[in-house]
């Protein structure tokens, strides 16, 4: 160990340098936002975006700004925009962008400050993503109805019971993929609706390869004459476990795999990723609006077009 080394030199090996993060500023900076075209990832999977409707909901848990008298206001910012937008926002960029508000004076009162804060962020994101973006500031996270919006979904492990301990071996290949048997559906005598939840959701960031974990919720409605192979539903979720992909596309990959199976009539996939670095991302993709859980409905973002009217 060199006598010239400081504790910061060791920390920098994993934390980066002090130039990696935004420092004191009293001016917000929308130029930090990095829009990403959805088509660039979708085309890798043969997805057009027309296969589903849906929304991306973000919760920014360290949202804060100042009143004009330098008193801070803090809470959780909810951001929602449609999955049919041309662009999506890169998570680190929105984090850095929101950090620039930390020392910005936004109003004389809490109410006026929140209103200005919401309006500015909505305008900046709408311009950057070229789509309507809903923004809502909550002083209490308990007010945000996205913690667990689908309570009546049965845990897939409990549904399978002892079968999960006796299921056929899940092969884990050198290329980091779980094997899924070719036939996910088998003939049956009646139609069924399946609603599964699980907390074993795991994938990895497409860029940094850091792990992302959370809960997944799957709704599947089958045509008469088909029954679901539940083991393969679990296998599809486990296939994401070492997949390097953004959350939004993980949900789309799952959705398109399920909806493309012969016998699947309707489908909904909601992935509620746990917060990492103060942000959580919650994409939902569905074959029809009625299947989208309350997490999206509470922001009144349905348009006549999305509702099929």
The pTM assigned to this predicted structure is: 0.85
For 70-135, the DSSP string reads S-EEEEEEEEEEETTSSEEE-HHHHHHHHHTTTT-B--SSHHHHHHHHHHHHHHHHHHHHTS-EEE
Smallest CA-to-CA distance from 99 within 277, 250, 265 is with 277
Query: How do strand 133-138 and strand 226-228 relate by DSSP bridges?
Result: unpaired
23 backbone dihedrals φ, ψ, rounded to 5°: -110, -175
Question: pLDDT grade, residue 102 (50/70/90)?
Answer: very high
pLDDT digits (tens, 9 = 90+) for 131-149: 999 999 998 766 665 445 5
pLDDT at 75 over 90: yes
Q: What is the mean predicted confidence (pLDDT) over 155-178?
A: 73
Instruction: Identify the residue whose tokens are 């080394």.
Output: 5
Looking at residue 145, the DSSP 8-state letter turns out to be T
Q: Where are the beta strands (DSSP E) in the chain?
A: 35-37, 53-66, 72-82, 87-89, 133-138, 154-155, 185-187, 193-204, 211-222, 226-228, 264-273, 279-286
Nearest to 197 by CA among 155, 148, 150: 155
Predicted local distance difference test score (pLDDT) of residue 114: 97
Q: Which of 13-17, 254-258, 271-275: highest mean pLDDT?
A: 254-258
């Amino acid at each position: 160990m060199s006598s010239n080394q400081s504790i910061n030199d060791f920390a920098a090996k994993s934390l980066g340098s002090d130039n990696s993060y935004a420092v004191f500023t009293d001016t917000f900076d929308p130029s930090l936002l990095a829009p990403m075209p959805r088509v660039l990832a979708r085309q890798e999977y043969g997805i057009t975006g027309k296969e589903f409707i849906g929304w991306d909901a973000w919760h920014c848990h360290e949202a804060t700004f100042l009143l004009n008298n330098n008193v801070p206001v803090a809470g959780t910012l909810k951001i929602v925009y449609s999955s049919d937008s041309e662009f999506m926002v890169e998570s680190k960029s929105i984090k850095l962008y929101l950090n620039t508000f930390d020392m910005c004076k936004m109003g004389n009162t809490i109410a006026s400050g929140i209103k200005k804060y919401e309006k500015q962020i909505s305008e900046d994101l709408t311009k950057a993503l070229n789509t309507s973006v809903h923004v809502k500031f909550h002083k209490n996270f308990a007010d945000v109805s996205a913690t667990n919006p689908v309570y009546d979904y049965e845990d897939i492990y409990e549904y399978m019971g002892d079968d999960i301990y006796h299921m056929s071996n899940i092969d884990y290949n050198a290329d980091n993929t779980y094997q899924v048997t070719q036939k996910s559906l088998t003939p049956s005598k009646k139609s069924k609706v399946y609603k599964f939840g699980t907390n074993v959701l795991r994938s990895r960031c497409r860029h940094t390869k850091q792990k992302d974990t959370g809960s997944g919720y799957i709704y599947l409605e089958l045509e008469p004459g088909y029954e679901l192979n539940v083991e393969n539903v679990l296998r599809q979720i486990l296939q994401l476990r070492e997949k390097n992909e953004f959350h939004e596309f993980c949900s789309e990959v799952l959705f398109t795999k399920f909806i493309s199976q012969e016998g699947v009539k309707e489908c909904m996939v909601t992935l509620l990723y746990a917060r990492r670095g103060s942000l959580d991302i919650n994409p939902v993709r569905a074959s029809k609006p009625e299947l989208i859980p309350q997490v999206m409905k509470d922001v009144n973002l349905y348009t006549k077009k999305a509702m099929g009217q």
